[in-house]
Every structure is written in structure tokens, then in C-alpha cells.
Structure 1
Amino acid sequence: MKLYNYWRSQSSYRIRIALNLKGLDWEYIAVDTARGEQHGTAYRKIHPNGQIPVLDDGDNRILQTMAITEYLEETYPDPPLYPKDPAERARVRGFILTCTCEAQQRTGRRIRDYVEERFGSEILQEWYEYWTPRSLEMLEKLVAAHPMTGDFVHGDTPSAADCFLVPYFYQGSYRDADYTTMPTLKRIVDNCLSLNAFQRAHPDNQPDVAPDSRF
């Protein structure tokens, strides 16, 4: 099994966590997005749109992080990343979709590149300062008073929801987010980062870590 990814990529970080939680053996294939390797002919044969991550599992090549986590769950069910109960499973999916479709989409690479190119770096910084805390506070509201929130987003064992939360929280850390307004998220992330699977997935612990002026 191979994971095409980049050390600083939030999406890549999600899947590294999931693979580690599953206890799977996998090969790290670095794609240097800082130098535009994802736009090259060789990588476009891996992903036609030049996106990361891509999970290569033998004859199967899986795109998009939610699809990858569900593929891993259905193909390698133990230990589980999703609850068996339909309502609980829906809660985890709902949290994931909030991370990806509402929170990260406002501050992701494509938005960042467009805003900086069109309006300049000062406006980009204002954009981040506006959206990052609001997105994190939105996630805080989902977990703060929910009865199924435990040591982790859903219950007392890590789930796919935590695989998506921790990387987004990491993004906030280099945008100077004020975590005092989101104590539940902070507690959950601290619990996650105490675990080996999350520590090994952390961007700073990847083999291709290098200065990246885009961040």
C-alpha cells in the first residue's frame, strides 16, 4: 500500500493518521507540491487533477480523503474508525463533512492561491484571520455539549472524525488561532496527540519535511 502525499498537506495528514490507527503497513511517497511536482506529467498519471493524497492499494487507487477513510474502514474493518450504529456513524460523517466542506474549503490551497494572486498577501492574511477562528468555533459548537463527545470527538476511542479534526486544528496553530475559545476541541486534540498513531502522522515527523514559504 502506498500513500502519495506531502508532509504539510492537511488532507495528507488525515490519511496518515487513519493508516496508523488501522495499524497498516504503508509506503510514504512524497509529492513535492512546493515545487509543483503535482502538476507534472508523471503525477498526473496518478491523479489527473494533480491533487493529493492518493491511496494506492494494489489494483485500487482511491482519491479524496473521506472516500479513502471509508475504503479503509470497509476493506480493513479492525480497529474501526466509524461507529456501527447508523445515527452515530452519521454524526461522525457530519463532523467530517463540516471539516472538509465548510471549514477547510474557506482556507484551503485553491482559495489561498486565488486570494493571494488576485488581492495580495495582506488581504490573504486578513482572510485567514477572519475565517480560521470562525471555522474552529463552528466545530467547537458541534462537540461542546453533545452527549456522545468523550475523550475524542465521538466517544472514548479515536474515530475518523479525529483524523479530520487534528489536521485542521494544526492549520489553526500556524494562523495564530486563539484556542481559549474552543476548550473542547483543544482537550480532544491534546488527547489525540498523546497517541503514537497521531504523533507519527504529524507533519514535523515526515521524511520530506522542508521549509515551505507558502505557509
Structure 2
Amino acid sequence: MASVAPAQENPGTCPTSARLKLYSCWSSSCAWRVRIALNLKGLPYEYIAVNLRQGEQFSEEFTKLNPRQLVPTLVDGDNIISDSFAILLYLEDKYPEHPLLPDDLRLKAISLQASAIVGSNIQPLQADGLTKMVEKKVGPEERLSWGRLFIEKGFTALEILLKDSAGKYSVGDQITLADIFLVPQVFNGARRFNVDMLKFPTLDRINRTLEELPEFQAALPERTPDAKA
């Protein structure tokens, strides 16, 4: 596994004595979600890069932390949490300042639904491992069309879900988990699979607003220590 990345001057990193440790990779949208949440909550953390392309996730050291051999993994003292959704809910419960879920039960349910649509119905079906297998079996064009199909199907559902609940952000004017899940997925959809976001005006508007926020900008893949390296 790569050495600990040096501290950066942004809301999401801190010296190696920090209590929170995030095992992350610049290319992982799941890890990207957690970086956004840590920034929004103002929680300093130690960024530990796991090079997925070099297979560092399969190392004995990392497998002890996360038997699933995936990023992200969060270490908070004696607590080790993997899976971005579980990490985000853990952070919400453990560090309730700057909440990422609304008090209103209807809006809370919508935010969780939106998060689940991305986390369960979109991202796994356009993940690198699956699309590379599609490409190997049927060709590169099918890889793109496969990913685009499931992203657009999920975005269609999200557009309908959020159309009436959206304010400045996905559910009113408070940033919630729905927004944290949305931004990395829109980035992947538009950049990797050529999804036309004009088809989804509500999602596109929300995403453009979120992209301007410093907490979201600080979490961008290109601003991570391993991407810079």
C-alpha cells in the first residue's frame, strides 16, 4: 500500500495524527462521496491512498481492514467502516453537527431514496469491473452503451423523484446525502459515458450549483494527493 499522503490545505485533510483515517482512491466515486461528507461536516482526516490499478486493495494489510477489498474504508479509533453508504450514515450519527439529512421525514425519505438509486441502481452497473467485462465480451461500443443505459434509466427516476422536492439543492435548501451521491454520478455519466444532462434539467441545475461549493471542489478527484502524484 502506498505511504500516507501528505496533508493538504483544504477542509478535508489533516496531519497524520488525525483520529479519522480515510482509505481512498482518486478514481473511486464511492470514496469521492465520503470526502465530500467529511468536508461538509468540517471533519479533518488522514488521507491514505490505495492504488486500485496496482492492486493495493488486495494486500494483506488492507484486506484485514476491509475483507471486501474495496475503497472507501474509514477508520475512526477502533471503528472500521466500509461501504460509502454505511460510512455516511455512521458519520451522520457520530458527528451530528452540520447534518446531512433533513428533520422533515418526507424530505429525509426522498434524500435516502435518491441516494439508494445512485448507490444501488446506477453506480454498480457502470462500475469499471462490470463495464470492462462487457467490453471484453462484446466490444468497446457496447461498454459505453451499457453504462449509458443504466445511468439514464436511473437519472430518469431521479429527475421525477426530485422535481417537486428540489429547492436550491435536491431536497429543499439544505445539502443532504442525495447531493453527495449526485455530484460524482453526474460527473461519471457526463464524462465517461457521454450522458446528455440536458435531458435531466433538475439534476443538471442542482449539480451545477453544488459544483461551485468549496467543500465539493476540495473533494474533486484531481485534488486528491494520489491524483496529484
**Alignment correspondent of 1:125:** 144
Q: Which has the higher contact order (CA 8 A, sep 6+)?
A: 1
Match of 1:162 in 2: 179
Q: Which runs of 5+ in 2 are unaligned?
A: 1-19
Q: Which of 73, 77, 85 is the aligned partner of 1:58?
A: 77
User: Alignment partner of 1:81: what SS?
Assistant: coil
1:99 CA displacement: 0.9
SS class of match (1:55): strand
**Alpha-carbon distance in structure 1 between the residues aligned to 2:185 and 2:120:** 12
* Structure-2 separation of matches of 1:28 and 1:149: 33
Question: Which residue is 2:190 aligned to?
Answer: 173
State the identity as a percent: 36
Which residue is equivalent to 2:215?
197
1:99 alignment partner in structure 2? 118
What is the CA–CA distance in structure 1 between the aligned matches of 2:144 and 2:104, rounded to whole Å? 42
| Pairing partner for 2:52 from 33, 43, 64 | 33
Name whichever of 6-15 and 115-124 sits farther off: 115-124
Residues 24 and 48, structure 2, Cα contact 8 Å, conserved in 1: yes
AA matched with 1:176: N
Query: 2:197 & 2:104 partners in 1: Cα distance?
Result: 32
- Structure 2 counterpart SS, 1:33: coil
> What residue identity is the alignment partner of 2:153?
R
Residue 44 of structure 1 corresponds to 63
1 CA distance for matches of 2:148 and 2:116?
Answer: 22
Residues 1:152 and 2:169 are matched in the alignment: yes
Deviations 1:118-158 (A, max 9, x none): 334332123123333333222222212x1x31110111121
Q: What are the Cα deviations for residues 66-117 of structure 1, in whole angstroms up to 9, with x where unaligned? A: 1111111111101100112333221111111111111112212332233234
Question: Per the alignment, in what secondary structure is the counterpart of residue 80 of structure 2?
Answer: strand
Instruction: Mark the CA change 1:91 to 1:130 in structure 2 (over 3 Å): closer, same or farther.
Output: closer
| Amino acid of the structure 1 residue aligned with 2:205 | R
TM-score by length of 1: 0.91
How many residue pairs end up in the alignment?
209
Q: Is the 8 A contact 2:110 2:161 kept in 1?
A: no
CA RMSD of aligned residues (A): 1.6
Uncovered stretches (5+) of structure 1, i.e. residues with no partner = none
